[in-house]
Structure 1
Amino acid sequence: MNLTVDVETAGPVRTLTLAGELDHGGAPHLQQALDDAYTCGCRQLIIDLTGLSFCDSTGISVLLGARRVMAARRGDLALAGVNARVERIFRLIGLAEAFPTYATAEQARAAITPA
């Protein structure tokens, strides 16, 4: 299965909703969406993993790269909809606390949107 990335911008927050597999084949699609967000100056970013069925080391590298870029910009990056399979991978490799996570994109948006 390929990866699809749907992009939604609501005010200052850009949400990237992933569906499919975030692996060697799918990672470039996410990276392109992230590059587009960086180019337009996005500082609040949510990556919604609700539809993600698989994530390998390539996908994790892209997520960590996004974390670095957003931290350098003094922006916010949150993950939403992290399923049990992806959460287990994050725990196994020591990334469970690396990203703020929320059950839904709406909860993440409420948490990171500037007042």
Structure 2
Amino acid sequence: MEKPVSQLEVRSKIWLEVDGAPVFGQGREELLRLLQQTGSINAAAKEMGIPYRKAWTYIDAMEKRLGFALVNRLKGGAGGGESTLTPQAVALLEKFDLLQKGFKASVNRKFIKLDF
């Protein structure tokens, strides 16, 4: 008895670059969304399973390459600090989401049209 042929599916990823250097993609999108949910870079990093220092380095690199702040940081104290996304970061997330949806729909249409 022959094994059934599995259905082919197309997968794609999209990211943004500045001068050939990656600046924003799915991983960094996840970091910002988790930061938005938790109000903490540390909590977002833990949720992703990466060190705080790595998360902070990602944020710092994105801000430098994009040329605008993504995170408002309030230093911790007895009650702890808080981090929030800037309006520009929220807009970036919204636009990236729309870009991904349009991109995936276009790729899926092309895939179907090619009749793999």
TM score, norm. by length of structure 2: 0.29
TM score, norm. by length of structure 1: 0.29
Higher strand content, 1 or 2: 1
Higher-Rg structure is 2
